[in-house]
Amino acid sequence: MYMALCGRGACIWLFVEEEHVFISLWTRSMYMALCGGGACIYLFVDEEHVYGSLWRRSMFKSLCGRGACKWLFVEEEHVYISLWTRSMYISLCGKGACIWLFVNEECVYGSLWKRSMYMALCGRGACIWLFVEEEHVYGSL
């Protein structure tokens, strides 16, 4: 799976393979593209919202690692997110920076090497808010 996460003049490109997420930084715009299985979700991110549209049909995605998975079901213009009952641990590393995320049922914990950003992932009446400072990721589900 290949993703681009963009906002505030910078983009993070994610390539997900097996249980690993590879990351690299780019520049410019507030655009996300989530592509795979012959379909793409294009997301436009403003300060507090994520707007999405889907190419072609519905998609079912999973981000798996360390014994847990995050499942994304995309239909029409909505992204539905559910988390498996078990906690999930993800590391996003690249270009000398890593974001370490530990997700349990209600919170997102993490630490960041270098950089800072603010993200909101919203869908079906719920949002995941992430505020990343130099060494920490603060989140709520």
Looking at every residue in the chain, the average pLDDT score rounds to 42
Give first-to-last CA distance, the chain, whole Å: 24
Give the residue extent of every domain in the chain: 2-140
What pLDDT, on a 0 to 100 scale, did the predictor assign at position 46?
Answer: 38
For the stretch 12-41, pLDDT in tens is 445 444 434 443 333 223 344 444 444 444
- Each residue of 67-101: pLDDT tens digit? 444 444 444 444 444 433 333 444 433 334 444 44
pLDDT at 106: 42
**How far is C-alpha 15 from the geometric centre of its chain's CA atoms?**
11
Name which residue leads in pLDDT, 70 or 54.
Answer: 70
